[in-house]
A and B are shown apart, each in its own frame.
Chain A
């Protein structure tokens, strides 16, 4: 596995710029390279290496689920230890459950549920409650103050 420290200055510049978004043209890598004084082939070669080195997970689209009519919420449950894995299995079966963590709290199971525009969120929650025999605390998001961090790899002191 590649480490951030193994990155050359050029790789860092490339990643920092590319994370803002590739130009939306027929030749996105070439056009990105132009902004960095790098040829299109070099951009592609470097990105291939960064993917092989397991630094880049995916190069693709990031979508706004709300814009597409998706609804989601965080849910938490107090699940009896003996039932935990069976309940987890039933919950995780749902394709809209993307994250599920066991936590060291009375509310010991925390998961997110998202449903598309053709489904009703509350109905899906009701079904999960029926399927598992547990009630879940519904904690929908009201506001986002900070969402993830894009790594600024262009300067050494920023880690």
Chain B
């Protein structure tokens, strides 16, 4: 989909909050200088074309009681990576699971974010996962400090 300047401006507005009013897009329309009807039309088009995944309330990620989190990296042979990725995804403790490229001194190809109530429980969960996917190697990387966390602003200059 080709995005014109109005689309870009609309996206930057929709990355904020839409007003909690009966007709939220009439306010949005004023800001982009389009009619309410045209705003809704453009939003529908973006949704149909997959540019916008959804318009929805986003919740705070808060897992009450989940204190111990780790990025667990796994080395799994290529012919088993899909199977392992899907199995890891089946664990409730896993919130994200990705396959990534490896590097010269970095052999791990699967990544999963694992959440647990305690350090012991985290290690237990990871052990259980390891038994199930039988990796060649794995490691838990805990975050010790958040150095930056923000959301991507696509068309901030509009």
A104 to B14, CA, bound (A): 37
A63 to B143, CA, bound (A): 27
A109 to B141, CA, bound (A): 11
CB of B131 closer than 8 Å to a CB of A: no
With contacts defined as CB atoms under 8 Å apart, how many contacts are there between chain A and chain B in the complex? 210
Question: Does A104 lie within 8 Å of B57, measured CB to CB?
Answer: no
CB of B34 closer than 8 Å to a CB of A: no
In the complex, which residues of chain B have a beta carbon less than 8 angstroms from the beta carbon of A25?
A: 40
Q: Known: A44-B22, A68-B51, A103-B144. Is A57-B100 also a contact (CB below 8 A)?
A: no
Q: Mark B55-71, 1 if CB is under 8 A from A, else 0.
A: 11111110010000001
CB of A101 closer than 8 Å to a CB of B: yes
Q: List 25 A-B contacts (CB under 8 A).
A: A19-B57, A25-B40, A26-B25, A26-B40, A48-B20, A57-B58, A58-B57, A61-B54, A62-B52, A64-B50, A65-B152, A70-B152, A98-B149, A100-B148, A101-B143, A101-B146, A101-B147, A103-B143, A114-B152, A137-B106, A138-B101, A140-B101, A143-B85, A146-B94, A146-B112
A residues near B (Cβ < 8 Å) are 3-4, 15, 18-22, 24-30, 40-41, 44, 47-48, 50-51, 54-65, 67-68, 70, 74, 76, 88, 91-92, 95-105, 107, 109-111, 114, 116, 137-149, 151
8 tightest CB-CB pairs across the interface, nearest first?
A61-B14, A21-B54, A146-B89, A145-B85, A143-B99, A100-B148, A102-B145, A100-B147
